[in-house]
Structure 1
């Protein structure tokens, strides 16, 4: 998705410089790592889950995925949202939002089928009580309508709906970014803070709950990614400061100790709103936001990480990252099957771990298949003899 195309030019002395063209694979690699980590975390109760970075800090792969999405969107759209072409680009973006909505409904329906099938085949009716399925079973008519209208979400099936809302908002973000980037930052930050302070969040229809990932909060991280990439595309760069690097490392270390030693009972709120001092994922508390930004700063400014992730376009991780939506859908469905397997085997950690290892392998196989399918679809037709 991150396709960088540059035009050649002269410097102030009139000397021409060759400018590289091609796809930057670094975001694809990081996106692939996020997708694999999300899959591992979505099959709770097996050993690999304890190795993911959510166990060593405040944020997890969801925050990283949204930030990378914002960076990718900034690279793909910010330079194209110009007068005269904004309507066409807006319609293209909203078509993507529709695709994300359809993908969310599809994965939710398949998830229902997996858990219902497990309940029928294995005689384990308690499966219907998992991941917020029971309200749909007990109120079928209302449940179907609520699910289609995004008024009821199943557990582990809530990223795509939030992402679809972000794409609905994206044309407005791009317009503000084109007019005045600081205005976009101020608007996004204000919306994030208001959502956290006043609990502005889409509510569910069937119960008293609300969306697990609040789009009015998570849009801030998405916008930060857009602004950072737009700044770079305009010729700017991230500040490479030893102080910022040291602060980032220190914050990651403190958050790691906080999680590892369960210091959750320490109260440092000083009467401030929870969105600034808590650790809530729904409203993307500042502690989680700063954690993913600190991690991203280190990965972006320390050269060794850039060298490790700048790989060939045929690298397996690049293939996964290049087909992120299809692979995410595949991983979600596979993870739901893994959850049923763990439940019917009384949460056998060894079986769960074997399943996850096999599932990771299937992610690579599916990405290779998608790549092969793309090559076949663009291959020239065979000429008749």
Structure 2
């Protein structure tokens, strides 16, 4: 007997309302973007002392990945409910293609900048790319050549590829579908932390370790879409999350971080638990209509957060240039960091103005990938 063909999940009841803007999450994503920019400036005071990663086990990368899965999952499910599974898959394919295209632009542009820096400034270049440019270009296209700064966008592409089968499993098996990311995560902890990639590089973000975080974000995005809330505030969970955050601070300050528990490449257990604890505390304790979300600072951060992909991509270039400047004169950081933050805000502001000028709605909530929002 032949196997039955893979069928789309059963129709879903339409949600009560589309995923709306969340000024709280917009501002948080904006802060994460600036934190990532500052943390990538090697040897900088701001990245070493003034962002939350300096006082705990996890950093902005985990929240960035979690929130992107959160948004993409909810957008996919909303489109599926309104237009069907096939239409939602087509929309996700378009978003995947746009992100892959941006990855290529960043990869090639960053490689050109690093090569020019090696020739004119004597900074380290991409040795393998200089010796084997064709193979390096092919490896970058296929996501398997990951020199410094080039690991995060490939991880998002892999996460997006895993999202469709995961959501199909969720539609069929509900919570049992979480066994898929759980199995991947266990495999990541058993595999070597530095999975080898092309040209002597390694995967900066081990896919079996980080994709589950992306998928878990999609799971909670689904909960928000159909129940109106990702989590509820529970005193025991709040106390446990606070204890994990406090433990992370103690371990960081005392320099007693155990590598097998906090390694970033494989998203080690304590690191993952710390990141999820921070996310839970924000979701459970910070109301959507908090007063600070109406301030000018929150509006500026929210504008940055609504344009995560272009801001992040430009931030990679600016942080490399900032690292070169700070390495030559540490005092330049007082100029480099504010100037970089202003440039990233200006980019986000111009993108907002362009969309509004074209009569389009504001950028889609919780999204890494560019494109039309969930109401399109």
TM range (shorter): 0.7 to 0.9
Query: Unaligned 5+ residue runs, structure 1?
Result: 9-19, 268-273, 380-385
1:139 to 1:115, Cα distance in 2 relative to 1, 3 A = same
Pairing partner for 1:333 from 308, 317, 338: 317
Say if 2:168 is the partner of 1:187: no
**Paired position in structure 2 for 1:271:** none
Say if 2:208 is the partner of 1:216: yes
Deviation of 1:180 (Å): 2.4
Deviation of 1:147 (Å): 2.0
1:75 to 1:121, Cα distance in 2 relative to 1, 3 A = same
Query: Secondary structure at the residue paired with 1:151?
Result: coil
Normalising to structure 1: TM-score of the pair? 0.82
Say if 2:53 is the partner of 1:69: no
CA distance in 1, matches of 2:317, 2:346: 15
Deviation of 1:178 (Å): 1.8
Pairing partner for 2:347 from 357, 366, 379: 366
Moved more, 211-220 or 140-149: 140-149
CA distance in 2, matches of 1:357, 1:328: 16
Deviation of 1:261 (Å): 0.7
Deviation of 1:342 (Å): 3.2
CA distance in 2, matches of 1:325, 1:107: 11
Kept after mapping to 2: 8 A contact 1:166/1:219: yes
Q: Relative contact order: is structure 1 or structure 2 higher (C-alpha 8 Å, sep ≥ 6)?
A: 2
**Paired position in structure 1 for 2:5:** none
Runs of 4 or more, structure 1, over 6 Å off, are none
Query: Unaligned 5+ residue runs, structure 2?
Result: 1-13, 361-376
Say if 2:273 is the partner of 1:280: no
Deviation of 1:33 (Å): 1.0
Kept after mapping to 2: 8 A contact 1:195/1:201: no
Instruction: Provide Cα deviations, 1:10-67, integer angstroms capped at 9, x if missing partner.
Output: xxxxxxxxxx994222221111111111111111112111211111111100001011
Query: Secondary structure at the residue paired with 1:127?
Result: coil
When the two chains are superposed, the root-mean-square deviation of aligned CA atoms in Å is 2.7
CA distance in 1, matches of 2:278, 2:189: 23
Instruction: Provide Cα deviations, 1:133-183, integer angstroms capped at 9, x if missing partner.
Output: 112112333222222222211211211110011111211122122222312
Kept after mapping to 1: 8 A contact 2:19/2:225: no
Pairing partner for 1:226 from 218, 221, 244: 218
1:86 to 1:199, Cα distance in 2 relative to 1, 3 A = farther
Say if 2:47 is the partner of 1:49: yes
- Larger Rg over CA atoms: 1
1:83 to 1:72, Cα distance in 2 relative to 1, 3 A = closer
Pairing partner for 1:127 from 95, 100, 124: 124
Say if 2:154 is the partner of 1:165: no
Kept after mapping to 2: 8 A contact 1:151/1:206: no
Deviation of 1:85 (Å): 1.8
Alignment map for 1:246-285 (pairs within 5 Å): 246-264=239-257, 274=260, 278-285=261-268
CA distance in 2, matches of 1:227, 1:309: 28
Pairing partner for 2:281 from 276, 284, 298: 298
Count of aligned positions: 344
Normalising to structure 2: TM-score of the pair? 0.84
